Structure 1
Amino acid sequence: MITNDLQPLSIVDNVGFVEYTKKLQPLYSLPNRKVLSNTMLPFKYNEVRKKLHYLLNIVTHISVTTDMWTSDSQKSFLSVTSHFVRDNKMISAVLSTKEILGNHTSQNIATELKLIFDEWSVFDKIVTVVSDNGANIKKAIIEMLQKHHHPCVAHTLNLCVIDAIKAVPQVTVLITKCRAIVTYFNHSSQATEKIKNMQKQMGVTELRLKQDVPTRWNSTLIMMERICLVKEPLSAIITSLPNSPDFLNSSEWETLLDYTNLFKPVEAMTTELSGENYPTMSLVVPLIRGLQYAVRNRKMKTVEGESLKSRLLEVVWRRLGQLESDKMCAKSTFLDPRFKKIAFGNEIYANNTTKWLVEEVTSLIRQQNTSVSTNTPREASVDKSEVSLWDLLDVRVAEAKTICQNAPNVNANIQLEQYLRQNFVDRSNNPLDYWNRSQSTFPELYMLSKKYLCIPATSVPSDRVFSRAGQIINDRRNRLKGDKLDMIIFLNSNLNIEGV
């Protein structure tokens, strides 16, 4: 109950819960809060932690996301989540939710991240660290930890929408008017009751207006969509309400429809990239191209809508267009058997990615050949006075092996060409299933697929950690210590992971 349902530790002291427990089983003795906090919780945490540590120890590559958050009690926390491929499945696990003391300098952030990475023995296994574009966290990752940093694509999409809206003042005014209408209804029980009754009279579904969070554009989209859905009952009662806010005119309603129509593909892309149970970095390149195509083909009815559309296309290309040439994105896309080279809009980027992968496969083959040559004992001398029926074939096989070992670059090129000639996997299928079946056919590419397909496209996993933390640190638990919060979130997130 404490970890799954995020109940406060103090629940064992609540009179109602104590009585409820006695009714269920009079002979059961509830643990007190001290035992629960100091004995039971740490025991379970250490048990699960040991199992997760074993999983992280046997995988070769992991990617991590990280983010920072400040609670209502003004405590700052740093979250770290890990992502890796195990038994052809994506595994996501929370590593730490650590309270950060002092200023949020890049040095302090780097120090805490290094402690977490070393605690889990994963520092040398990290492929990339995904976070937002905050200058302090980027500097901590790139300059101080000398790790590859990848910006959160969801965060960048959010910035694209904000930039596009700011460029069209009429849309900003429209959002402000919609926000004022929603705020009015949320603070007026009379207005809420009136719109509810009007919806009953009209025989339509009863819907409440939704308030947005200005820092999250998709919540603004939800607010606008809801206003569109309640347009008729809203229009019927607004003039009869005291001190009602300014209402939308006909042209503003058309602009509102353009707004919701235009940004639906952006919302769909954000949702697609925010998953944790399937590879997401490989989706970035095809989804950016798909977003551009979807937005370009949206039909706008207003001048403001056309201006918003043009601006959105421009800012998406400026902020996201370069990701097609980003090595992490490009390799991940190439190694997704649903996309390969066809997802690239620019053939130059696709060819560059082929070269990068040939180089990496070549390096892996050389390493393996070196390992084989140093570990393989010399063959015992064989009496050649007797000729075997298999001697000729054995000689030819040995020659073929020598050619492959002496030309790893050729072997790498052949492997890439054969992979590209394979049929595309259906888009609804899991690409990890393909690689599980093909690991003996393309051994080096299989190794690289586990390296690049484990990278999350966003830092949303860390954001989800803070959503849970917000539920835990409330008025009933505002004195909860940082280490206990870490344990509860860790168990809440990791108890159901396969193998843990």
Structure 2
Amino acid sequence: MGKNNYTLLDGSFYFKLLPDGSVDKSKVVCSFCQTELKYHRSTSSLNYHLRAKHSNAAKKGHAKGQQKQSTAPLKNAHQHKPVEEDKLTTAIAKWVVINFRPVNIVEDAGLRDVLRVACCDESYVLPSRGTIVSRIHSLYETEKATKLKLLQSANVVALTGDHWTSVSNQNYLGVSAHHIDTNWTLLSFALTVRQTEETRVQHFCDVAERWDIARKVTTIGADSALTLITAERIKSYQHMPCIAHSLQRSITAAVLHSGFEHVLTKCRKLVAHFKDSPANAAELKREQAQRDQDVEPLIQDVQTRWNSTLSMITRLQTNKDAVRVTLDLHKQINTPAFLTDAEFEKMGKLETLLEPCRYVTELLGGEQFVPCSVVLPALCHLSRLMEVSEDDPDYVCQFKEAFTSDLSKRKESINTQWLKVATALDPRFKDLKCLPRSEREEVWRLIKEESAKQCYVEAKVSEPPKKKMSLLVASDSEDEEEAAADTPVARYRAEPSISMETCPLKWWCAHAGAYPSLAPLAQKYLSTPATTVPCERLFSLSGHVVQKKRAALSTENATRLLCLSDWLREKKQEGKLTQQL
């Protein structure tokens, strides 16, 4: 051993440095090729490695003593190298997770060459598959600990869940958590993606217990089928069906009962004519370019994608002339018939009917703003737009009547009471104009009751003197009237409503101190999602992870990859927003 305690054979080898800065003296690394070798207090195998792999460099080093002169810089380089390699390993692990790359990509020689050029280090060796998997597990545990702290500081938590079937015909349940933190920021992130055999509410309870939030859960959001089972088996949680699903089903029912389906079938055949043939698609693109239009493909509607029917007819109407000319270029037996002017007029009417529905579904499916309090005002707005007028054609009247009738039936199964309270606690809609006058006072009565319970809990914690409480009980009727007029609920109702563009959470952040008994209620009701869109976005990621080439992926690894991808994407998005601000 040389003078330097970290090197061997005049700097030809150095002991392996661990991530925590300690030295592993059972392993050494070659300074020339970075090969890791075991060390048993004998340099025989090390000398053999030098003679076999680096004979010229070894001879020069021993002959002129050049390695001794370079011992100090080698030491410094090796001290920094593990740190840089650790950063690269973490970056590769994050890349694999966020961009859904297979772990065996670290065996790709092309990636190795690219990183060697980027690092200006021709000796860089990619980490092994096991190292990347281990790093992914470490990142998952770190991010999970961060999410646990967020949930521990939350007063209440809302859950949403949805089911998805993988390519290997396995059923998965995804669960997301939603809450408003102390800074009045709405947070939403995945909790788990677990394999299940059937739709059971007990899975939600298991997830809540595992994350230690069982006592904090207020609502469980799910599709209608799961909600029915939930209502039967769990009484302690409120249940929020997916409003966007209900709205989409009402649209489907209205289309079927209004005579639009025949025209939509012709539209689908037209779109398929260009989607299924690269030659036809290329001709359409040339025609679009000649007309100085945007070169864009036609859109085929999909039953499971909301608003895709609207996107299909809008894109088809925009490219009506280009499609007509392209079809005229080659008249074939299988060429679909083009729509008539009357049918295009019918499509225009349908577009006008579906556009407000698209706006509402996108509004309710947002994660960065409060959606729950918007449900009743949005449905009231749609009901007004769907009122039949004298100028409406018969098919439009049929659509409006079918839509209104179906949506009214579905509104009976949603948690209307919860939505009413959420609407009242939103300073944009607290006038409750979306409700009949006869129902408004009942909502405020419910809020007063919950507010009184909140005051009682706070009073019980602070343990006020009994004499003071008896004085309150013995107050006369005039004092009671004055006190009633000065209650937090009355003062909140007297506040001016804010504009639609103003965020209700910012308003509550500024006024929470003035309404200490109402602020926790606002956090409770305004944090509830109106749809299962967060979980459906999670399953969009699932399609990239649990695919045919990875169908044998274990449930545990699938959970780690999907949740970690969701968490890292959220952190990346927050970083971009911070830079913009």
TM-score normalised by structure 1 residue count? 0.87
User: Contact 1:65/1:130 (CA < 8 Å) preserved in 2?
Assistant: yes
User: Contact 1:362/1:408 (CA < 8 Å) preserved in 2?
Assistant: no
1:198 to 281, 287, 295: 287
SS at match of 2:201: helix
Q: Give distance in 1, aligned partners of 2:481 and 2:177.
A: 33
Q: 1:402 to 1:21 in 2, by over 3 A?
A: farther
Give the aligned partner of residue 69 of structure 1: 164
Give the aligned partner of residue 76 of structure 2: none
Q: Quick check: 482-491 or 329-338, which moved more?
A: 482-491
SS at match of 1:83: strand
Give 1:3 shift: 2.2
Give 1:185 shift: 1.1
Alignment of 1:6-17 (within 5 A): 6-17=100-111
Give the aligned partner of residue 188 of structure 2: 92
User: Contact 2:175/2:190 (CA < 8 Å) preserved in 1?
Assistant: yes
Give the aligned partner of residue 249 of structure 2: 159
Give the aligned partner of residue 387 of structure 1: none
SS at match of 1:338: coil
Q: 1:35-77: per-residue Cα shift (whole Å, max 9, x none)? A: 211x211111111111111111121101010000001121221
Give the aligned partner of residue 24 of structure 1: 118
User: Contact 2:288/2:295 (CA < 8 Å) preserved in 1?
Assistant: yes
Q: 1:7-59: per-residue Cα shift (whole Å, max 9, x none)? A: 2222212232222222222344322112211x211111111111111111121
Q: Give distance in 2, aligned partners of 1:401 and 1:40.
A: 63
User: Contact 1:358/1:409 (CA < 8 Å) preserved in 2?
Assistant: no
Give 1:202 shift: 2.6
Q: Quick check: 340-349 or 290-299, which moved more?
A: 290-299
User: Contact 1:66/1:78 (CA < 8 Å) preserved in 2?
Assistant: yes
Q: Give distance in 2, aligned partners of 1:3 and 1:351.
A: 51
Q: Give distance in 2, aligned partners of 1:492 and 1:402.
A: 60
Give the aligned partner of residue 340 of structure 2: 249
SS at match of 2:260: helix
Q: Give distance in 2, aligned partners of 1:52 and 1:466.
A: 20
Q: Using the aligned pairs only, state the percent identity.
A: 24
User: Contact 1:207/1:230 (CA < 8 Å) preserved in 2?
Assistant: no
Give 1:278 shift: 1.4
Give 1:369 shift: 2.1
Give the aligned partner of residue 284 of structure 1: 375
Q: Give distance in 1, aligned partners of 2:340 and 2:208.
A: 56
Give 1:296 shift: 3.4
Give 1:193 shift: 2.3
User: Contact 2:388/2:401 (CA < 8 Å) preserved in 1?
Assistant: no
Amino acid of the structure 2 residue aligned with 1:176:
T
Say yes or no: does 1:5 pair with 2:5: no
SS at match of 1:123: coil
Q: 1:124-182: per-residue Cα shift (whole Å, max 9, x none)? A: 11110011112xx22442233332211100100111101101112x3111111111111
1:211 to 277, 297, 300: 300
1:231 to 303, 306, 320: 320
Q: Give distance in 1, aligned partners of 2:253 and 2:129.
A: 50
Gaps of 5+ in 2: 1-94, 576-581
Structure with the bigger RCO (C-alpha within 8 Å, sep 6+) is: 1
Give the aligned partner of residue 269 of structure 1: 360
Amino acid of the structure 2 residue aligned with 1:45:
Y
Give the aligned partner of residue 78 of structure 1: 173
Q: 1:182 to 1:138 in 2, by over 3 A?
A: same
Give the aligned partner of residue 546 of structure 2: 473
Amino acid of the structure 1 residue aligned with 2:454:
L
Amino acid of the structure 1 residue aligned with 2:401:
S
Amino acid of the structure 2 residue aligned with 1:121:
D
1:441 to 514, 527, 535: 514
Amino acid of the structure 2 residue aligned with 1:439:
A
Q: 1:412 to 1:92 in 2, by over 3 A?
A: farther
1:222 to 303, 311, 334: 311
Give the aligned partner of residue 345 of structure 1: 435
1:318 to 394, 399, 409: 409
SS at match of 1:2: helix
User: Contact 1:258/1:301 (CA < 8 Å) preserved in 2?
Assistant: no
Amino acid of the structure 1 residue aligned with 2:286:
N
Q: Give distance in 1, aligned partners of 2:278 and 2:434.
A: 53
Q: 1:200 to 1:193 in 2, by over 3 A?
A: same
Say yes or no: does 1:174 pair with 2:269: no
Q: Give distance in 2, aligned partners of 1:15 and 1:211.
A: 40
Give the aligned partner of residue 18 of structure 2: none
2:214 to 123, 127, 143: 123
Give 1:320 shift: 3.1
Amino acid of the structure 2 residue aligned with 1:248:
L
Q: Give distance in 2, aligned partners of 1:359 and 1:408.
A: 17
Q: 1:446-486: per-residue Cα shift (whole Å, max 9, x none)? A: 11001000000101000000001112223443332221121
Q: Give distance in 2, aligned partners of 1:301 and 1:233.
A: 30
User: Contact 2:156/2:218 (CA < 8 Å) preserved in 1?
Assistant: yes
Q: 1:358-388: per-residue Cα shift (whole Å, max 9, x none)? A: 11111122222222227x7x99xxxxxxxxx
Give 1:494 shift: 1.8
SS at match of 2:273: helix
Q: 1:144 to 1:400 in 2, by over 3 A?
A: closer
User: Contact 2:173/2:193 (CA < 8 Å) preserved in 1?
Assistant: yes
Give the aligned partner of residue 498 of structure 2: 425
User: Contact 2:484/2:490 (CA < 8 Å) preserved in 1?
Assistant: no
User: Contact 1:162/1:217 (CA < 8 Å) preserved in 2?
Assistant: no
Q: Give distance in 1, aligned partners of 2:184 and 2:484.
A: 25
Give the aligned partner of residue 445 of structure 2: 355
Give 1:287 shift: 0.8
Q: Give distance in 2, aligned partners of 1:198 and 1:485.
A: 45
Q: 1:4 to 1:217 in 2, by over 3 A?
A: closer
Q: Give distance in 2, aligned partners of 1:67 and 1:244.
A: 41
Give the aligned partner of residue 526 of structure 2: 453
User: Contact 1:254/1:302 (CA < 8 Å) preserved in 2?
Assistant: no
Q: 1:284 to 1:479 in 2, by over 3 A?
A: same
Give 1:350 shift: 1.6
Q: 1:206 to 1:277 in 2, by over 3 A?
A: same
Say yes or no: does 1:41 pair with 2:136: yes
SS at match of 1:277: coil
Q: 1:28 to 1:429 in 2, by over 3 A?
A: farther
Q: Give distance in 1, aligned partners of 2:383 and 2:452.
A: 36
Q: 1:20 to 1:28 in 2, by over 3 A?
A: same
Q: Quick check: 362-371 or 422-431, which moved more?
A: 362-371
Q: 1:365 to 1:403 in 2, by over 3 A?
A: farther
CA RMSD for the aligned pairs? Answer: 2.8
Give the aligned partner of residue 385 of structure 1: none
